[in-house]
Amino acid sequence: MGCWVGKIARVNLTTGKVTVTDLPKEMAVSYLGGRGFGARILYDEVGPSVEPFSPENLLILATGPLNGSKAPSSSRFSVTTKSPLTGTIFDSNCGGKTGIKIKDAGYDVLIIEGKAAKPVWLMVDENGIKINDAANIWGQDVDITTDTLLGQVANPQSATVACIGPAGENLVRFAAIMDDKSRAVGRGGVGAVMGSKNLKAIVASGTSHESVVDQETLDFIVYEARKVLKQSPITSIGFPTYGTSSLVRVMDMMGAFPSYNFSESSFGYINDVSGETLREKIFVKQKACWGCPIGCKRVTKTKNGEGEGPEYESLWALGPECGIHDIEVIAEANYLCNRLGLDTMSAGVTIGCAMEMAQRGIVDSGVKFGDIPSLMKMIENIAYRRGFGDALAEGSRRFSEKYGVPEYAMQVKGMELPAYEPRAMGVQGLSFATSNRGGCHLRGNMLGPELLGVPKIVDHSGASGTVGLLIFHQHLSAAFDALGVCKFAGFAVSDEMLARMMTAITGIAFVPHDLHAAGERIWNLERLYNIREGFTSKDDTLPKRFTDEPLKSGAAKGRVVNLAPQMEEYYRYRGWSTTGIPGKEKLKLLGLEA
Amino acid sequence: MLEEFQRIGRDLFLSGLVSSHGGNMSVRMGDRVLITHRGSPLGQITAEGIVETGLYDNDSSIMLASSETPVHRTIYQQTAGLAIVHAHPKVAVALSLFEDEIIPIDNEGSYLLHKVPVISSEIASGTAMAGIVAESLQKYKITMVRGHGCFAIGQVLEEAWQWVSCLEESAMVIYYARTLGGQTKEFRKNADQYKKW
């Protein structure tokens, strides 16, 4: 099947049974892979009666068709489940090697169901899938777990480890799965679902079996794609030199860099936390995901440690969002989250929420803005569910609701927001509100058109006119997630090039429209899933702060998100009802009719 | 959005890519389309010069919309485009009378366009032309209709306009190079591959 191996593996941890079935070709072409496969399988198998932590919930690791190919920046794989943080369908994706290795082992998809009687880890390779006792690593952090498992496998050089830390074991609702220590399948509590199944780790290993129908054409398209990556200053200078933190000063200049739990839209100590400062003070070397010519990752070193990161979002969440501007402390908080297996973003924003509530005298949580020792201690307490950390381990929405002040949780559908101030952007707030997995910057980020000018700069004053463009980007994002391609490559590589690569690899004629159609199909299927779970248009909303409180300063001073008219346009343009339900005609067009 | 139509329309006219009442533009908004009024001079677009209609369904707005609305609809239904610019770039139109595809020989055109196919249709707005233009735009960001003009797609009007402008510049370079005569010196590593794009 060209870029698809053609096999789905299913592991039942309750029974210990492993089954392998064929990947239906129709599903491959319609949903492409990754997030698309995850959405289709979860929709078909996990209904409203299934609780996220129950054995009946699935953990679906799905590879993309371009994983392991010569397509640039194409190592990303997806993990789909019903999220314990949001209750929605949820996929989180990651640039680590696990996806490629699962594919090399002979599978497009690895479905994990049931619950093991005691802690286990999985070995996935060309010999099959084996369930192993994890007694010696349960309770250990990510670094120790990874090193221990690599010490146990026959060929550690070709193996990769995806594991959970204490946060996942303790069912922290925003626990991550860590891939080779520092790449995170970060969001939505996928690590907690893994922990609920008593699954500590997945070790994957295999040999590449890439199959290409038209190698000469693929080589030419990849050459052209790498050329545009080299010519874009974003992908050839900004990200490689300063990492994703190159966005820090840019966003601050635009008045779109939140701080202090989104009560400010810029940061007074911005030069202390900029990409330039990171490079000057703690940078060790540049690193890249598999097959990525951009290389936005940072290896860093502080007085007390060394590791990877912080990325833009982590730097912000564990820094300015909590009122902290010491770059070394932020990096160390990031290292700690990685070791414990915590999503840095939800951790930072949830702690930021607790800090604001403490500052307002609502709760004596023991943390306050700018308090470094409290931040580090609280990260540990969350992972081990100690003291106040136990309440914060539930995420900002549940924590704030517990005290009757949900307005201080900066979240949508339960997921903590990323580092983009929606009041300073045109339709970014609408993007957050309509995201099927909750507050997220990766479901149709308007950073490109609204701020960076990719493909062209558009009005970001909040005026009408860019809702259609957001929908386009939501579909394109879904297609990228399904293909297994990093969205940073999308700042230069076009959908046209990706379609041509797919054609060259598979021999099936793909055009850009096919990718967008798959994206729209995935988006609507996720929407249907959430509707079946009881979500309504009332959940397509934002914290009151963004709709009711004008920005006090910065480039976007005085602005709020005028969400209602944008939402009306959004539903209408999507061909949905006024209450956000996809119509029969739309579903028929997408091949999603019941 | 009106300002965007006005800005691009004016520049299309001033740069000679359309005549006074030639060409048209549209933007897709999900399942709706905003398109220039029939006979609207692109250099002088007013609020009344933009018409909203359905992407799939007709409505009475079709009485006002550009006569090439069916072409725009078909393009949107079959491609990933969010904006369409239809213009009449003179040198590219002239070249289209000789060629079945325009392969830029300049750096910018090679980089951005790779290749522009030329298709034939005598009727400017018919269903038949809509189908072949849309089919071509499934694979290419801009396509020429022989002796007529080009259709370009983009995420925004400005992007589609860029492809039109780039095509005309590449066509002019080809024209100048042929006029100068002799063998051109190649600078592209994979020059022979562009024909296969």
Examine the domain organization and report whether A173 and A292 are in the same domain. Answer: no
Residue A220: inside a domain, yes or no?
no
Calculate mean pLDDT across residues A116-139.
Answer: 98
> B114–A469: do the CB atoms touch at under 8 Å?
no
pLDDT surpasses 90 at B67: no
Calculate mean pLDDT across residues A552-567.
Answer: 93
Sequence-distant (6+) residues with CB within 8 A of B122 are none
> B155–A455: do the CB atoms touch at under 8 Å?
yes
Pick A40 or A450 by higher pLDDT: A40
pLDDT score of A463: 65
For B121, other C-beta atoms within 10 Å of its C-beta total 18
pLDDT surpasses 90 at B28: yes
Cα–Cα distance measured from residue A507 to residue A278, given in angstroms and rounded to the nearest whole number: 45
Closest chain B CA to residue A231: B111
Strand, coil or helix: B51: strand
Out of B30, B31, B190, the one facing A223 most closely (by C-beta) is B190
| pLDDT, tens digit, 9 for 90 and up, residues A471-510 | 999 999 999 999 999 999 999 999 999 999 999 999 999 9
Examine the domain organization and report whether A181 and A158 are in the same domain. Answer: yes
pLDDT score of A2: 67
For A368, other C-beta atoms within 10 Å of its C-beta total 15
Out of A495, A512, A574, the one facing B30 most closely (by C-beta) is A574
Q: How far apart are the first and last CA of chain B?
A: 33
Token pair, residue B124, equals: 């400017």
> B82–A472: do the CB atoms touch at under 8 Å?
yes
Sequence-distant (6+) residues with CB within 8 A of B1 are A464, A465, B27, B34, B50
pLDDT surpasses 90 at A229: yes
- A-chain CB neighbours of B162 within 8 Å are 456
Q: Which residues pair with A175 in a beta bridge?
A: A342
Q: Which CATH class is domain B2-196?
A: alpha beta
pTM value is 0.92
Please state, in angstroms and as integers, the Cα–Cα distance from residue A494 to each residue in A35, A67, A229, A472, following that order.
Answer: 19, 17, 10, 13
pLDDT score of A594: 67
User: Total structural domains in chain A?
Assistant: 3
pLDDT band at B68 (very low <50, low <70, confident <90, very high): confident
Examine the domain organization and report whether A381 and A434 are in the same domain. Answer: no
Examine the domain organization and report whether A369 and A439 are in the same domain. Answer: no
For A459, other C-beta atoms within 10 Å of its C-beta total 16
> A513–B80: do the CB atoms touch at under 8 Å?
yes
pLDDT score of A462: 66
Cα–Cα distance measured from residue A125 to residue A65, given in angstroms and rounded to the nearest whole number: 19
Residue A386: inside a domain, yes or no?
yes
Residue A524: inside a domain, yes or no?
yes
| pLDDT, tens digit, 9 for 90 and up, residues A507-546 | 999 999 999 999 999 999 999 999 999 999 999 999 999 9
Residues belonging to chain B with any Cβ–Cβ distance to chain A shorter than 8 Å? 1, 4, 27-32, 56, 78-80, 82, 111, 114, 138-141, 154-156, 158-159, 162, 189-190, 193, 196
Q: Are A106 and A7 in contact (CB under 8 A)?
A: yes
The percentage of chain A sitting over the pLDDT mark of 70, rounded to a whole number, equals 99
pLDDT band at A1 (very low <50, low <70, confident <90, very high): low
pLDDT score of A464: 63
pLDDT surpasses 80 at B123: no
pLDDT score of A277: 96
| CB neighbour burial string for A222-239, b if at least 16 within 10 angstroms, e if fewer | bebbbebbeebebbbebb
> A467–B28: do the CB atoms touch at under 8 Å?
no
Token pair, residue A255, equals: 């008045």
Examine the domain organization and report whether A560 and A476 are in the same domain. Answer: yes
> B138–A496: do the CB atoms touch at under 8 Å?
no
Q: What is the DSSP secondary structure assignment for residue A549, as one 8-state letter?
A: S
- B-chain CB neighbours of A572 within 8 Å are 30-32
Average predicted confidence (pLDDT) for chain A = 95
Cα–Cα distance measured from residue A314 to residue A330, given in angstroms and rounded to the nearest whole number: 8
pLDDT score of A555: 86
pLDDT surpasses 90 at B38: no
Examine the domain organization and report whether A398 and A444 are in the same domain. Answer: no
Residues belonging to chain A with any Cβ–Cβ distance to chain B shorter than 8 Å? 217, 220, 223-224, 227-228, 231, 449, 455-456, 458-459, 464-465, 467-469, 471-472, 476, 495-496, 511-513, 515-516, 569-570, 572-575, 585-586
Judged on CB neighbours under 10 Å (0-12, 13-18, 19+), A593 is exposed
Residue A276: inside a domain, yes or no?
yes
Examine the domain organization and report whether A266 and A167 are in the same domain. Answer: no
pLDDT surpasses 80 at B136: yes
pLDDT score of A453: 82
pLDDT surpasses 80 at B82: yes
Cα–Cα distance measured from residue A314 to residue A233, given in angstroms and rounded to the nearest whole number: 23
| pLDDT, tens digit, 9 for 90 and up, residues B5-27 | 999 999 999 999 999 999 999 99
The percentage of chain B sitting over the pLDDT mark of 70, rounded to a whole number, equals 97
Residue A179: inside a domain, yes or no?
yes
> A573–B82: do the CB atoms touch at under 8 Å?
no
Q: Give the CATH number of the domain where residue A403 resides.
A: 1.10.569.10
Q: Are B116 and B191 in contact (CB under 8 A)?
A: no
Examine the domain organization and report whether A337 and A480 are in the same domain. Answer: no
Residue B12 Cα, gap to closest chain A Cα (Å): 17
Q: Are A323 and A333 in contact (CB under 8 A)?
A: no
Cα–Cα distance measured from residue A161 to residue A159, given in angstroms and rounded to the nearest whole number: 7
Examine the domain organization and report whether A393 and A426 are in the same domain. Answer: no
Please state, in angstroms and as integers, the Cα–Cα distance from residue A232 to each residue in A239, A288, A489, B32, following that order.
Answer: 10, 17, 10, 33
**Of A205, A225, A246, the domain-final residue:** A205
> A575–B31: do the CB atoms touch at under 8 Å?
yes
Q: At what angle do helices A495-506 and A467-483 cross, to 10 degrees?
A: 30
- B-chain CB neighbours of A218 within 8 Å are none
Is the complex ipTM more than 0.85? Answer: no
Q: Are A265 and A556 in contact (CB under 8 A)?
A: yes
Q: Calculate ∠ Cα A538-A420-A468, nearest 5°.
A: 60
Q: What are phi and psi of A33, to 5 degrees?
A: 155, -165
Average predicted confidence (pLDDT) for chain B = 91
> A471–B1: do the CB atoms touch at under 8 Å?
no
Closest chain B CA to residue A496: B139
Q: Which residues pair with A202 in a beta bridge?
A: A122, A162
Residue with the two structure tokens 């951005």? B112
**Of A173, A205, A237, the domain-final residue:** A205
Residue A212: inside a domain, yes or no?
no
pLDDT surpasses 90 at A459: no
Sequence-distant (6+) residues with CB within 8 A of A191 are A164, A165, A167, A168, A172, A175, A176, A177, A178, A185, A341
Out of B31, B155, B193, the one facing A472 most closely (by C-beta) is B155
pLDDT score of B115: 96
Residue A167: inside a domain, yes or no?
yes
Strand, coil or helix: A308: strand
Of B9, B67, B65, nearest to B33 by C-alpha is B65
pLDDT band at B42 (very low <50, low <70, confident <90, very high): very high
pLDDT score of A450: 87
Domain edges within chain B: 2-196
Examine the domain organization and report whether A470 and A584 are in the same domain. Answer: yes
What DSSP letter does each residue of A177-188 carry, written as one string?
EEETTTEEE-ST
Q: What residue numbers bound the domain in which A288 lies?
A: 254-409
pLDDT band at B182 (very low <50, low <70, confident <90, very high): confident
Out of A467, A513, A573, the one facing B138 most closely (by C-beta) is A513
> A468–B30: do the CB atoms touch at under 8 Å?
yes
| pLDDT, tens digit, 9 for 90 and up, residues A49-94 | 999 999 999 999 999 999 999 999 999 999 999 999 999 999 999 9
Examine the domain organization and report whether A43 and A123 are in the same domain. Answer: yes
pLDDT score of A270: 96
Examine the domain organization and report whether A166 and A28 are in the same domain. Answer: yes
Q: What are phi and psi of A306, to 5 degrees?
A: -145, 145
pLDDT score of B124: 64
> B80–A223: do the CB atoms touch at under 8 Å?
no
